[in-house]
Structure 1
Amino acid sequence: MGDPALSRRGFLAASAAAGVSMTALSACGGDSDGGSSSGTTTVEWWNISTTQPTKDVWAGLARQFEAQNPKVKIKVVQLENDAYKSKMTALTASGKLPDIFHTWGGGVLRQQVEAGLVEDLGERTAPWSEGLLKVAKEPYLIDDKVYGIPFDIGMIGFWYNKALFRRAGIAQPPTTWSGFLDAVRKLKAAGTTPIALAGKEKWPGMYYWAYLAMRTAGANALGKANDAKDFTGDGFVRAGQHLQELVDLQPFQKGFLGAAYSTPTGQAAAVGNGRAAMELMGQWAPVVQADAGKGLGADLGFFPFPAVEGGRGAITEVFGGGGGHALRKGAPQAAVDFLKFFASAATDTTLVKKTGVLPVVPSAESALTDPNLTAVQAQLKAATGFQLYLDQAYAPAVGQEVNDSVAALVAGSKSPRQVAESITKAAKEEQ
């Protein structure tokens, strides 16, 4: 989870590196008293729902809450993933977070909590949050206290085009790494781009190294390595070597190093438009594929990350997480009320039906009809191990180094051992 001692200097350095102007920070909800002389409470809600249909669905939920609470105004701020992370790093350094903000939990949330910036939600949400799906709440528990309320849970896996697999003579999705590499070769031989990757954004590439580390070293190894500040073990080097095997096959689309994730020419669109056979992505992938491209409909399938022969990990150990909301310290009661509204069965059912998330309210599970999302949920329920996204599980600087180093390996500028050494160096510097 990262070093327990918060370094405000580290946050300040990170915010300077992010290049976020203080002008961009001045609108933060933490700068106000959460109310006005008119008797209306304004609550600022920062989230990363920038793609359709989620963007409009979430905005509509804010308006619905306002209609039910006439004296509350929800000011919605929606930012793309990387921009959000950069601005939140700077906001944390400034000591003023939004009233309600998106969180993945893990090391980033821990640092915000240890800076005294996040509200302890235990007593204020206990009457209704205790019924939420247990695994979905785990990323937001810090020292047995509740600092976030989940709205989503899921895992990373391969989303693939069944028609392109059939054309390449691949009868079934691969279950082993050697089988996966063989599938890549068959797709290339059939004239199909095997994999779409958003190389520009770095985090999608991290998924490969993280899963390969889990498969070679075991699900618990990533947490243990972070605690020990040492990622130079054989399992981590071999993870990089396996990724190098994939990179050497040149499996990605032309121009992948400059490709974004959700743009019309990015990773999701390449799969959604049938130009690439698969992508390694979370449970939100079908929605983004349809938004950025056309979507594959019945030709879209899902399979878990393959097992690595001789590795300590199992195919039932999953990598992923979900989304949650946290509140700034001292946020108004209206912000707590909004979290309760967002975690209600009615809202969760809407989210499942309209945005493709997996339910965190058990009674909303009946709304899950998509066969691929049902497959993801089945994998989660059968999971024998779980690892939160590394750029969230670890302290921000360590998570960023994982992303940067793996991106360098994919681009051909770092070796598998150099990746392990760079991450270790970043972890030691966090002490």
Structure 2
Amino acid sequence: MTAHLSRRSLLGLAGLGAGTVLLGGCGRGESGGSAEPQTIKWWHIQDTEPMLPVWAEMARLYEVRHEHVTIKVEPRENEAFKAELAKVSRAGSPPDLFQSWGGGLLRQQVEAGLVRDITDEVAPWVGQLLPAALQPYTVDDRLYGVPFDLGMVGFWYNRDHFADAGITSPPTTWTQLLEAVGKLKDAGIVPIALAGKDKWPAHFYWAYLAMRVGGLGPLERAALDGNFDTPEFVTAGERFLDLVKLKPFQSGYRRAEYGSPDGQAAAIGNGEAAMELMGQWAPSIQASSSTSKRGIGSRLGFFTFPTVEGGKGEATDVLGGGNGFAVGRGAPSATVDFLRTLLRAENQRRAAQTGAVLPTNLAAVGQIKDPNNQVVAANLAVATGFQLYLDQAFPPKVGQQINDSVADLVAGTKRPDQIVKDITAVARSQ
């Protein structure tokens, strides 16, 4: 199952005011469920500044207001989280509240009976959230998670590096992007930072190129028949190879992780590379991963993924998704009330102020202050289509095969026509 959203559901992301009020969670003295002692095990991936202390403080305040509730917060790095969640899921013991991107994995968790249907519990307040953000967490018209963040993937770039290379404006076509890479290399600047070890960052290129070459149609068909062995997906791989052949990535990129001190985000945050293709969280991770802990500040710019000459895709079709939380099947009764508290307008505004979150609460969306997030929100506001990250939209085995196959393409061990056969074989076995 993939998530495709129309422009209609995405309108309103920018410019909404604070007039819409979100009903809050329980206040001091209110129960939030049974008064019996309860412990909520909460797993999330905001394991660094700026969101790590924000989540911790929200949990602490909830405990103060609910003396019978203890929240055991367990932050984990992204890849470690996925591995550990898979392990406990196989054992049938998911956390009470855990990070989720919705899509194919959530559907599998639903079918395995690992997560709770929270449709009725959140009905009094979920209407205050952006409809577009809810789509990936909806399975067969029932809600199994709640999103706190929604954004898109695009190119983050160093304005000074572009100027030094004689690039006067961000590229709008794939040919112009390749030309920009050449100019940056000629100026002695590393064009693109890539976390080759993590694999998922590279899949953004192939996914976007497939969207630009064939539009959203081929992805919608692949979701139904599992067939990726089509001209659009092959061409996407060929266009990606045109970039790879230019050797645009930093030295040692195949061993690089995304958020490590010597990884992809740090390369941008330390001014060591000119661009990265990444989601709305990029500026905050660049800063926290950089030596200065500040990143490159106002030198950072953003542009959408270029069009491909002759392609059917719209420049305003975006690849993205968000972050949310699902509730484990055996979670204590206070879990959904705590989740409601995290989504209150004032807490969403606080998260937005860090620059790491694009809020889903309508009352907080219009309060985005971070200039980078304002740019992302403005692009989402005019989006004509929305595609969830492919490694989340499809079942986990298919998503992993996409990441592995794109990594094979980058490494030169598989051709574009070979990787689509590999992905198709896994997709049709599900």
What is the TM-score normalised by the length of structure 1? 0.90
Find runs of 4+ consecutive structure 1 residues off by over 4 angstroms: none
CA-to-aligned-CA distance 1:39-95 (integer Å, 9 cap, x gap): 421000011111211111111111111112111100011111111111212222222
Contact 1:157 1:304 (8 Å CA) reproduced = yes
Contact 1:57 1:355 (8 Å CA) reproduced = no
Mapped partners of 1:165, 1:354: distance in 2: 27
Contact 1:45 1:76 (8 Å CA) reproduced = yes
The counterpart of 1:185, out of the listed 160, 182, 191, is 182
Mapped partners of 2:37, 2:226: distance in 1: 49
Asked if 1:197 corresponds to 2:194, the answer is yes
CA-to-aligned-CA distance 1:115-154 (integer Å, 9 cap, x gap): 1121111110011111101111111011111111110000
Contact 2:156 2:275 (8 Å CA) reproduced = yes
Mapped partners of 1:238, 1:366: distance in 2: 39
Mapped partners of 1:87, 1:429: distance in 2: 25
**What SS does structure 1 have at the residue aligned with 2:274?**
strand
CA-to-aligned-CA distance 1:148-192 (integer Å, 9 cap, x gap): 111000000000000000010111101100011011111001110
In the other structure, the counterpart of 2:361 is 361
Asked if 1:99 corresponds to 2:123, the answer is no
Contact 1:54 1:355 (8 Å CA) reproduced = no
CA-to-aligned-CA distance 1:309-367 (integer Å, 9 cap, x gap): 11111110000100111111242221011111011001101100124311211111243
Contact 1:230 1:424 (8 Å CA) reproduced = yes
1:114-263 matches, within 5 Å, as 114-263=111-260
In the other structure, the counterpart of 1:52 is 49
Moved more, 420-429 or 396-405: 420-429
In the other structure, the counterpart of 2:394 is 394
Asked if 1:274 corresponds to 2:271, the answer is yes
Contact 2:104 2:395 (8 Å CA) reproduced = yes
Mapped partners of 1:422, 1:217: distance in 2: 20
Mapped partners of 2:56, 2:221: distance in 1: 40
Asked if 1:320 corresponds to 2:316, the answer is no
The aligned amino acid for 1:190 is A
The aligned amino acid for 2:119 is G
Mapped partners of 1:175, 1:372: distance in 2: 19
The aligned amino acid for 1:158 is F
In the other structure, the counterpart of 1:418 is 418
The aligned amino acid for 1:85 is K
The aligned amino acid for 2:370 is D
Contact 2:105 2:394 (8 Å CA) reproduced = yes
The counterpart of 1:42, out of the listed 15, 39, 42, is 39
The aligned amino acid for 1:319 is L
Contact 2:283 2:355 (8 Å CA) reproduced = no
Structure 1 gap ranges (5+) = 3-37
What is the TM-score normalised by the length of structure 2? 0.90
Contact 1:136 1:153 (8 Å CA) reproduced = yes
Contact 2:190 2:250 (8 Å CA) reproduced = yes
Deviation at 1:264, TM superposition (A): 1.0
Q: Which one has more relative contact order, counting CA pairs under 8 Å at least 6 apart?
A: 2
The aligned amino acid for 1:347 is N
In the other structure, the counterpart of 2:17 is none
The aligned amino acid for 1:52 is E
**What SS does structure 1 have at the residue aligned with 2:125?**
helix
Asked if 1:352 corresponds to 2:352, the answer is yes
Deviation at 1:302, TM superposition (A): 0.4
In the other structure, the counterpart of 1:28 is none
Mapped partners of 1:221, 1:51: distance in 2: 37
The aligned amino acid for 1:71 is H
Question: What is the count of residue pairs matched by the alignment?
Answer: 396
The counterpart of 1:291, out of the listed 280, 288, 293, is 288
CA-to-aligned-CA distance 1:391-427 (integer Å, 9 cap, x gap): 1111111000000010111111111111111101111
The 3 A distance-change label for structure 1 pair 274 and 91 is same
Mapped partners of 1:73, 1:363: distance in 2: 29
The aligned amino acid for 1:220 is G
The aligned amino acid for 1:171 is T
Mapped partners of 1:229, 1:254: distance in 2: 36
Mapped partners of 1:224, 1:55: distance in 2: 39
In the other structure, the counterpart of 2:374 is 374
**What SS does structure 2 have at the residue aligned with 1:326?**
strand
In the other structure, the counterpart of 1:86 is 83
The aligned amino acid for 1:421 is K
Mapped partners of 1:80, 1:356: distance in 2: 15
Mapped partners of 2:124, 2:335: distance in 1: 16
Mapped partners of 1:356, 1:405: distance in 2: 30
In the other structure, the counterpart of 1:33 is none
Moved more, 363-372 or 230-239: 363-372
Mapped partners of 1:366, 1:211: distance in 2: 28
Instruction: State the identity as a percent.
Output: 52
In the other structure, the counterpart of 2:10 is none
